[in-house]
Structure 1
Amino acid sequence: MKATFGIKERLKSKKEIELLFSEGKSIAKYPIRLIYREATTEKNFTIQTAVSVSKRNFKKAPDRNRIKRLLRESYRKNKYLVSKNTTHHFTFMFLYTGNKMPDSIIVESKIKEILQKFISKEIEKQ
C-alpha cells in the first residue's frame, strides 16, 4: 500500500460530513478527536478522511493550516494500521481540540494511539 493521501481519499461531501457528525462515534486522545462512521456507499478507498481545526482556538489561518498539515501527514504515515486490519468502508474526521500549537511528534503519537484504539474497537465488534 502506498503511503499517500490522494484526492480520492479526502472527505469532501457535505452530506457525508453531516451524517458523520450526527451518527458518528468518537475516540479522543487529547488534543485530537476522531469521529468515525461506517460508510453506506462503496468507494474506491476503504477510508475517506477530513481534518479540522477550530477557529475559536486559532484565530490566524496560517496556524490552523499548519496544524491541519501536521494532522494529514501523521494520518498519511499511519493509515496502514487501519487499512490492513479492516475490510469495511469508513469516513473519518480528525479534530484538533487543543489550544496550543502542537509538535509533530506529539501529533503523530496521538494519531497512532487513536488509530490503534479504533482498530481494537473494530476487532471487538466483528
Structure 2
Amino acid sequence: MAKVTGLGGIFFRSRDPAALSAWYAKHLGLAVDDWGGVRFNEDEERAGYTLWSPFTADTTYFGPGPQPYMVNFRVDDLDALLVQLRAAGIEVDERVDISEFGRFGWATDPEGTRIELWQPSA
C-alpha cells in the first residue's frame, strides 16, 4: 500500500510574497532562498525536505476557490497512491507534474481542501 512519508511543505497565499519572505528572514531568521521560500530539514542522505513558501494572493496553484493554504505531503509511490485514492472515490487531479524536484499530484479532501502529493526525485 502506498503511503505518506512526511510533510513536504506549507504553502499559503500572501498579498506580497517577497515582502512576507523578507519579514520572516529579518525577524525570525529564516534562510529564504532566491525563489522566495525556505527548505527545512534538508538532508543530503535522504530524499525530501520540508518547505515554507508564500504564493501570490491570486495564485491558481491551490485550485479553485479561496483556499488560503495547501499542505504538501511527501509520498513513497505517487502513482500507486493516486490509483488508491481514485478507487476510493476521492477527487484526484488528472494532471501529474514532473520537475527536477520530483513528481507532483493533487487530490481534494472531504472538506474541499486541495492537497499536494509529492514523490521526491531519487
TM-score under structure 1 normalisation? 0.30
Structure holding more helix per residue: 1
Q: TM-score, normalised by structure 2?
A: 0.30
Q: Which has the larger radius of gyration?
A: 2
